[in-house]
Amino acid sequence: MIFRNYKKLLFIFLLFVTAFYSCKNVTRQKTGTGSIQQVASFMNKSIEFASLFSDYRNSLDTVLWAKRNKIVLYLDSMNCTSCAFNEIRKWNMYSKELERLKTDIVIICNYSDVKAVLDVKEAVHVGFPIFFDVDGRFKSTNHIPQDSMFHIFVVGFTNKVIWIGLPIRSSKSWEDFCSMIILSNREYG
């Protein structure tokens, strides 16, 4: 009798475990498909920079009219400011390589406290140009998804998205990124 109860309990437990993992896999598949669709719709998208403003140190015109690729780092108020800028400091190690590749880094912040952002930027020694999207028009005009994967992207000479995601996450990603930039430079440079 006790053995039958254990059999029933074991059977019910296995049934729940199987159901749980099946649901989890379906969710992953849906998420994966959604991400692929988002990537496909975001690639080659023309990015508009007009609604941004800057402090006196940076000129949007200078950045936009430079015949260079631009790595866009979009920071929104969902992230800790100092944490975001500490991550951005990692790009300093790549500055010589980016210069050789004719590629600039442009930081776009969706924070209302501009002075606080500039103070943090200065404190962590980030020298890349920064522009502000205080009212969120840059994000809404360009239909930038909520998923943070889309908050780092590269626009080519024509301001169309040619890369999505963090190219410095691995050496393979960095190699692929450099190859793609070299191709872009040959086409437009």
d(CA 47, CA 10): 56
Q: What are phi and psi of 53, to 5 degrees?
A: -135, 165
What pLDDT, on a 0 to 100 scale, did the predictor assign at position 61?
66
CA angle in degrees (0–180, nearest 5) for 115-118-122: 140
What pLDDT, on a 0 to 100 scale, did the predictor assign at position 49?
84
What pLDDT, on a 0 to 100 scale, did the predictor assign at position 31?
45
What pLDDT, on a 0 to 100 scale, did the predictor assign at position 17?
41
Token pair for 186:
């040959």
d(CA 171, CA 173): 5
- pLDDT tens for each residue of the chain, 189 residues long: 554 555 555 545 443 444 444 333 333 333 455 678 888 889 999 998 877 777 656 666 666 667 789 999 999 888 788 888 888 988 989 989 999 999 999 999 998 888 889 899 888 888 888 889 888 899 999 999 888 888 999 999 888 999 999 898 889 999 999 999 998 888 876
What pLDDT, on a 0 to 100 scale, did the predictor assign at position 63?
67
What pLDDT, on a 0 to 100 scale, did the predictor assign at position 14?
43
CB 109 within 8 A of CB 117: yes
